[in-house]
């Protein structure tokens, strides 16, 4: 994309225009209908601005660039001088050429005569790859006020480095409870920033309690908050008494890279008492025994594991070398919907955010345009192809000085899994932008992206498929699903808080949308979608079952005879079974190669069940937690959930019944059934000892594939026997 750049550096020897002989100069750069203005200085004849202006070549409707130096005045600004440039004479600059050196230009008055004063300028034609582009004033954003200019520029952000903190609370000694007439019920409460965890109440109700319990926290570098441990005694229903505290700065805590245990430490507990209205610290002999470490061998999950963009451990020493480079070109969007109203008409100020690994990028905001063109390119190192890049499009709510409560509205997002991309191929494709609202799913436009994954080593990339997905500490000392969910939520909060404190901020609502912060919340729509995904996976097995049933019922006699022949060959030559299976899978894979996907997949409304979702289900999905809906709606939803849970409960009960029937075959719960089964097992063992296995397999196969004329419509004898076995359901209340 071509731009005309004007760098206004400084001026000298400007004449005084007011009574005191001074002037308040500023520069106005004008090109057709577009006008950029520098800041003005009070009483300064040799001002320095060093500001850059960029005019989009697509929108240029003039042949002359006009640069005016004016004196700021209360009534009307006075012209000090001007410089004119013919656009056909302006030089082109193509990086990596060095920047164009600015030159002094003598100012002229309106008649073209020489005026007093000189202006230092550099004027050139360039592209958005120019170093001056990010900091320049843009003609596209001419209506943006000076306070909001920072919020429309492109930026690169880095997520903070996250660590897990493991606190192993072992025991405490010599506690001093205030009430010595009762057995203390002691627990330890740990606080780190806004995270608070506590151990269970110690089973040994003495002044030397034991716990040996792990507490896990998430923390980001630089470590701002210390870890605060307090030993507390449960003296009443809701009343806890602090027996002692200790504060541990995290920068002194040991960093662990593997599963080897860290050294434990005894720490003194301190207690605060109030004497004469002042808080005084008293030290006494109470101690607490701990193991604390910063876990460098884990990957701190701040995204869902299903579409994570980074799987490396925290400690840099454990990183493997990169396997390639990902290049993303954010080209344009078209058909965007108006996201807000300004001066009585709809408008959209769109920008993109992309996240991969720890690096976030934000494009510049294109102001008031439903077909924005960014043409910006970014690169990332790739360490694992089984990762996902997320690109989101947002409407900037702070361009026109949005109030403190203004939010950047979602326009849509796209996820692209790197493993679905062929190496060294450029994918240029438009992706639909879809957003789910309480009123239903809406297509808010399309975004055009260019992607290329360049592989540096094919062997290393293929070898990655044999490695575990997460670092080895996740398998040696696994964290529970509940723990991971809580820690992921804490990590998201830390990342969104840190990025919202950057300048310009990457706002909290943007980060939370990109990280899918509410993906764990209950949704009837998502539950239905997941159920039908399971049915889609099982549909292959169901189709095979139906096909086999047709073979058994001789629907197509020729096919059934061929299956008989194949079966007899495999029984007579069992060593051919596995090669036949693998050859069949190979042929299916080669056959499906013709219909392989040509483009990365995009958000699918049908798969998500978003296009057929009931309005009440969507309203429930967008409800806050805890709920903010009226009691009658909550009661209706609760009853609906109970009816669904009742069906799930019945299915789970049926599965348990079938499993218990298998157990009762040998449990003698039904002595006659177990006698029959044990006798059958003895006879079967004797028969199979003397009969070759191939004969047994041949007879069993021919029996299963027998003609319908030799079949009964009643259930088979083994099935009747199994259904008569007892289960424990009759013992349930």
161-295 shares its CATH topology with 316-515: yes
Helix (H, G, I), strand (E, B) or coil at 318: helix
Of 405, 390, 406, 393, the closest CA to residue 348 belongs to 393
Question: Which pLDDT belongs to residue 148?
Answer: 67
Helix (H, G, I), strand (E, B) or coil at 81: strand
State how far the alpha carbon of 41 is from the alpha carbons of 11, 70, 136, 412, 556, in Å: 12, 11, 20, 44, 94
Residue where the block lists tokens 């994309």: 1
- Show me where the domains of the chain are located: 2-142, 161-295, 316-515, 524-731
Q: How far is it, in rounded angstroms, from Cα 295 to Cα 162?
A: 10
Six-digit token pair at 600? 């990365």
Side-chain half-sphere exposure of 630, counting CA atoms within 13 A:
2
Phi and psi angles of residue 618, each rounded to the nearest 5 degrees, phi first? -70, -40
Q: How far is it, in rounded angstroms, from Cα 575 to Cα 569?
A: 10
464 contacts 484 by C-beta, under 8 angstroms? no
Helix (H, G, I), strand (E, B) or coil at 277: coil
What stretch of H or E contains 542?
Answer: helix 524-552
Six-digit token pair at 412? 């849509």
State how far the alpha carbon of 167 is from the alpha carbons of 207, 348, 464, in Å: 21, 49, 33
Q: Which residues contact 91 (CB under 8 A, 6 or more apart)?
A: 100, 124, 125
Dihedral of the CA atoms 626, 630, 632, 638 (nearest 10)?
A: -20
Q: Which residues contact 197 (CB under 8 A, 6 or more apart)?
A: 189, 190, 215, 216, 217
- The CATH class of 316-515 is mainly beta
Any alpha helices (H) in 322-478, and if so which ranges? 458-464, 473-476
Q: How far is it, in rounded angstroms, from Cα 212 to Cα 233?
A: 17
**For the segment 102-121, what is each residue's pLDDT rounded down to a tens digit?**
999 998 888 877 888 899 99
- The CATH class of 161-295 is mainly beta
State how far the alpha carbon of 123 is from the alpha carbons of 86, 110, 128, in Å: 11, 21, 15
3-state helix vs strand vs coil in the chain, percent to 5: 30, 35, 35
Phi and psi angles of residue 423, each rounded to the nearest 5 degrees, phi first? -70, 145
Question: Which pLDDT belongs to residue 712?
Answer: 79
Q: How far is it, in rounded angstroms, from Cα 510 to Cα 392?
A: 8
Q: How far is it, in rounded angstroms, from Cα 131 to Cα 122?
A: 14
495 contacts 160 by C-beta, under 8 angstroms? yes
What stretch of H or E contains 389?
Answer: strand 388-395
Question: Which pLDDT belongs to residue 58?
Answer: 81
Which pTM does this prediction carry?
Answer: 0.81
Question: Which pLDDT belongs to residue 283?
Answer: 58
Question: Which residues of the chain, if any, have pLDDT below 50?
Answer: none
Question: Which pLDDT belongs to residue 133?
Answer: 81
Q: Exposed, middle or buried: residue 20 (CB in 10 Å: 0-12, 13-18, 19+)?
A: exposed
CA angle 78, 82, 86 (to 5 degrees): 150
CATH topology of domain 2-142: Immunoglobulin-like (2.60.40)
Question: Which pLDDT belongs to residue 342?
Answer: 81
Q: How far is it, in rounded angstroms, from Cα 446 to Cα 240?
A: 57
Of 314, 367, 363, the closest CA to residue 340 belongs to 367
């Amino acid at each position: 994309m071509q731009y005309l750049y004007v760098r206004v550096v400084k001026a000298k020897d400007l004449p005084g225009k007011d009574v005191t002989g001074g002037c308040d100069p500023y520069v106005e750069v004008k090109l057709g209908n577009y006008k950029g203005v520098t800041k003005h200085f009070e009483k300064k004849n040799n001002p320095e601005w060093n500001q850059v202006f960029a005019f989009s070549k697509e929108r240029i409707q003039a042949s002359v660039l006009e640069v005016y130096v004016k004196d700021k005045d209360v009534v009307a600004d006075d012209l000090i001088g001007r410089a004119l440039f013919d656009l056909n004479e302006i030089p082109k600059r193509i990086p990596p050429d060095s920047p164009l050196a600015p030159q002094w230009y003598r100012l002229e008055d309106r008649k073209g005569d020489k005026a007093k004063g000189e202006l230092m300028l550099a004027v050139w034609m360039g592209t958005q790859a120019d170093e001056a582009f990010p900091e320049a004033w843009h003609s596209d954003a001419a209506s943006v006020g000076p306070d909001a200019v920072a919020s429309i520029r492109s930026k690169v952000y880095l997520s903070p480095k996250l660590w897990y903190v493991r606190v192993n609370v072992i025991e405490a000694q010599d506690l001093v409870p205030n009430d010595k007439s009762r057995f203390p019920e002691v627990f330890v409460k740990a606080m780190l920033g806004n995270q608070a965890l506590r151990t269970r109440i110690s089973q040994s109700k003495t002044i030397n309690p034991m716990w040996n319990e792990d507490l896990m926290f998430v923390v980001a570098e630089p470590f701002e908050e210390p870890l605060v441990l307090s030993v507390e005694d449960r003296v009443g229903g809701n009343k806890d008494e602090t027996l002692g505290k200790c504060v541990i700065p995290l920068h002194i805590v040991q960093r662990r890279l593997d599963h080897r245990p860290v050294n434990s430490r005894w720490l003194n507990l301190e207690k605060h008492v109030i004497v004469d209205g002042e808080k005084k610290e008293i030290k006494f002999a109470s101690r607490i025994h701990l193991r604390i470490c910063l876990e460098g061998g884990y990957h701190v999950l701040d995204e869902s594991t299903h579409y994570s963009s980074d799987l490396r451990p925290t400690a840099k020493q454990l990183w493997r070398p990169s396997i390639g480079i990902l290049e993303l070109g954010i080209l344009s969007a078209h058909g965007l919907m108006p996201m807000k109203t300004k001066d009585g008409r709809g408008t959209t100020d769109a920008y993109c955010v992309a996240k991969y690994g720890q690096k976030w990028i934000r494009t510049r905001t294109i102001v008031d345009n439903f077909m924005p063109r960014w043409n910006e390119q970014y690169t990332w190192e790739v360490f694992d192809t089984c990762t996902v890049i997320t690109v989101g499009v947002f409407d900037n709510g702070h361009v026109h000085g949005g109030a403190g409560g203004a939010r950047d509205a979602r326009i849509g997002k796209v996820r692209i899994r790197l493993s679905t991309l062929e190496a060294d191929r450029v994918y240029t494709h438009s992706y639909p932008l879809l957003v789910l609202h309480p009123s239903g799913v809406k297509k808010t436009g399309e975004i055009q992206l260019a992607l290329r994954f360049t592989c540096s080593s094919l062997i290393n990339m293929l070898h990655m498929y044999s490695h575990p997905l997460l670092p080895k500490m996740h398998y040696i000392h696994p964290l529970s699903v509940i723990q991971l969910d809580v820690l992921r939520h804490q990590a998201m909060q830390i990342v969104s808080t840190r990025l919202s404190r950057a300048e310009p901020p990457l706002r909290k609502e943007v980060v939370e949308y990109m990280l899918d912060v509410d993906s764990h919340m209950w949704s009837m729509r998502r539950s239905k979608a997941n159920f039908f995904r399971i049915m889609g996976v099982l549909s292959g097995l169901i189709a095979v079952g139906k096909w086999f049933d047709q073979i058994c019922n001789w629907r197509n006699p020729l096919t059934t005879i061929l299956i008989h022949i194949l079966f007899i060959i495999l029984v007579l030559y069992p060593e051919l079974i596995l090669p036949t299976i693998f050859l069949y899978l190979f042929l299916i894979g080669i056959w499906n190669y013709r219909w392989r996907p040509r483009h990365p997949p995009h958000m699918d409304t049908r798969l998500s069940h978003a296009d057929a979702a009931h309005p009440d289900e969507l309203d429930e999905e967008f409800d806050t937690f805890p709920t903010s809906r009226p009691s009658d709606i909550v009661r209706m939803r609760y009853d609906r959930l109970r009816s669904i849970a009742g069906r799930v409960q019945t299915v789970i009960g049926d599965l348990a019944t079938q499993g218990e029937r298998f157990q009762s075959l040998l449990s003698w719960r039904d002595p006659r059934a177990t006698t029959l089964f044990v006798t059958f097992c003895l006879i079967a063992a004797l028969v199979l000892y003397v009969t070759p296995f191939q004969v047994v397999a041949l007879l069993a196969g021919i029996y299963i594939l027998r003609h319908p004329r030799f079949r009964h419509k009643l259930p088979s004898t083994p099935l009747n026997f199994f259904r008569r076995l007892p289960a424990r359901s009759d013992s349930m209340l």
